[in-house]
Structure formats: C-alpha cells, structure tokens
Amino acid sequence: MTVAEYDDDFFLENGYWVAPCTNLDALEELQNKVVKLINEKVPDASNFSLSDVHNAVKKSDVNFLRMAVFSELNSDQNFRHNYFSLGKNYIEYLCGTELAANTKVNFSIQLPGDETSILPSHCDTFSGESSYQINLWVPLTNCFGDNSMHIFSPAATDKIIADMEGLEQQGLGSLFDTYIEGRDYVKLVVNFGQVVLFTPTVLHGNNL
C-alpha cells in the first residue's frame, strides 16, 4: 500500500495512522539490537523471546533496564536516521521534507500488570512539544489490549480539555467512563512490522 492510498480524512478525524514500516531491515536490526542489550543486562532473558521477556525481568528493574537500552541506542550516531527511515514516507507525506527531530528517541518497556509503567492519558503539547510535529511509535512486539496504547480522537480530546477545569478532584482517569464510546477512544492493535503515526495534540497513553 502506498502513502497516497492512506485516508487523509481518517487521520484528521482520528488523529493517527497504523501503517507498514517503510524499512523492515532497519526494524529487524533494531529489534535484534534491543534483544542483545536486554540479554546483556538480564542474563536470564536469553531463554525468552522479546514478547516473553517479562518472565525474566522484575518490575523493580524495569526503569534501570529501560534507561540502559535508551542510552545504548541513542549513543549510536546513526540511530535517529535509521529510526526515521521506519516511517519516512508517511512523515514526509504529512509534514514535507524540511524536517527537524528530537535529539533522542525514547524507549519504553511495559510489563503485564506493572502499574509503575503506566503512562496516563496526556497530550504531548502539555509538556511543551510542538503541536505541528508528528509522533512515530514503533513497537518491537505485537501490541494489543493492555500492552498497547490508547488514543482519544481529536474531537473527544477537545471535549475533555474543555471539561478539565471541573475535574480537578476526580482526575483524568474519571474521563474514561464518559469518553470511551465508539470512535472517541481506541486501544490500538499494532503488529510487529507496523508503525503508528499520530498527532501530539490528542490524548493518548497506556493503561492496565
């Protein structure tokens, strides 16, 4: 499927695309590198596939392991270029070719039932990110259900932000009861070999 076959209206209405990776060789190389790094840091992990590595990693060690992999990946001067290649065609279609990127590529690990790894619903623009950027999320395992990311539609995000002033006591978590109907809210299903492009202006996160 070419970029031109993707539905612009869908992106505008829902705030994201799930699309095939545009450089599978680079993706497989990245996955292999992460597996190697995890095996070096957690010797017992060598007996498991990446999707089963939670059987060897303790919750208390997740952040140490995440930061170790993050540091190693970003120490490679070619890493940002290779990462960009995973969604290059889509990013250039959406944004053009005169581009800038963050200096570091983030890395996260989500273990089953690990409440310490939860990233609550948020917009990246809340923390100063540009509203004109495009985010590229590249999972290294199949992601579905509670090991994936949720996204609220732009319309639902606008409603939620408008209602925030009255939710100081209840918190953002209370919004799920109101805004998870239909296409207002979706928990993405993303297979290895696919990437997600989304706007930083929509509420998104992960949850148990």
Torsion of the alpha carbons at 129, 205, 191 and 139, rounded to the nearest 10: 50
Straight-line distance from the first to the last Cα atom of the chain, in angstroms, rounded to the nearest whole number? 33
CA distances from 144 to 16, 27, 66 (A): 16, 19, 21
What is d(CA 82, CA 84) in angstroms, rounded to the nearest whole number?
5
What is d(CA 114, CA 108) in angstroms, rounded to the nearest whole number?
13
51 has a pLDDT exceeding 60: yes
Q: What is the per-residue pLDDT across 121-134, written as a single tens digit (0 to 9) for each?
A: 788 887 778 888 89
**166, HSE (Cβ side, Cα atoms, 13 Å):** 5
Q: What is the per-residue pLDDT across 69-103, written as a single tens digit (0 to 9) for each?
A: 999 999 999 999 999 999 999 999 988 888 888 88
DSSP state for residue 190 in the 8-state scheme:
B
Q: What is the per-residue pLDDT across 135-194, written as a single tens digit (0 to 9) for each?
A: 999 999 999 877 888 899 998 888 887 776 666 666 656 665 666 655 578 889 999 999
